[in-house]
Amino acid sequence: RKEVEQDPGPFNVPEGATVAFNCTYSNSASQSFFWYRQDCRKEPKLLMSVYSSGNEDGRFTAQLNRASQYISLLIRDSKLSDSATYLCVVNGGFSGGYNKLIFGAGTRLAVHP
């Protein structure tokens, strides 16, 4: 089983739609969770951290369910510019001073007019 699993998609949605991605992780000891965005052939960039209480940043809402070990990302009012791959990232434990990050393979979103 992969440490971090995501539906690869693609999710094809019209502009203005609401779309949600889920991600599951296997290490129940994980403490930190993040969503990164990666545009085609570009580097990943941090989109948002995921807090236990859930957090919102404009049209983006991230939630964490520790009991079921999954993280979600909700995008409201989708824009064409939201088209990208969204990477779920989980802290894999602290070892030797390093907070190891485990990256999911990503979920691809395509927003069309």
Partner 1 sequence: DADVTQTPRNRITKTGKRIMLECSQTKGHDRMYWYRQDPGLGLRLIYYSFDVKDINKGEISDGYSVSRQAQAKFSLSLESAIPNQTALYFCATSARGGGFNEQFFGPGTRLTVL
Q: What residues make contact with partner 1 under the rule CB under 8 A? A: 2, 4, 8, 32, 34, 41-46, 49, 87, 91, 96-106
CB 2 to partner 1: min, Å? 8
Nearer to partner 1, 39 or 56 (CB): 39
Checking 65-69 for CB contacts under 8 A at 24+ apart, the result is: 66/28, 68/24, 69/24, 69/25, 69/26, 69/28
Beta-bridge partner residues of 59: none
Q: Which amino acid is at 52?
A: S
CB 104 to partner 1: min, Å? 5
CB 71 to partner 1: min, Å? 14
CB 81 to partner 1: min, Å? 19
> With 0-12 CB in 10 A as exposed, 13-18 as middle and 19+ as buried, what is 29?
exposed
Nearer to partner 1, 100 or 112 (CB): 100
Q: How many helices (H) and strands (E) does the chain have?
A: 0, 11
DSSP character at residue 30: -
Nearer to partner 1, 27 or 32 (CB): 32
Nearer to partner 1, 78 or 87 (CB): 87
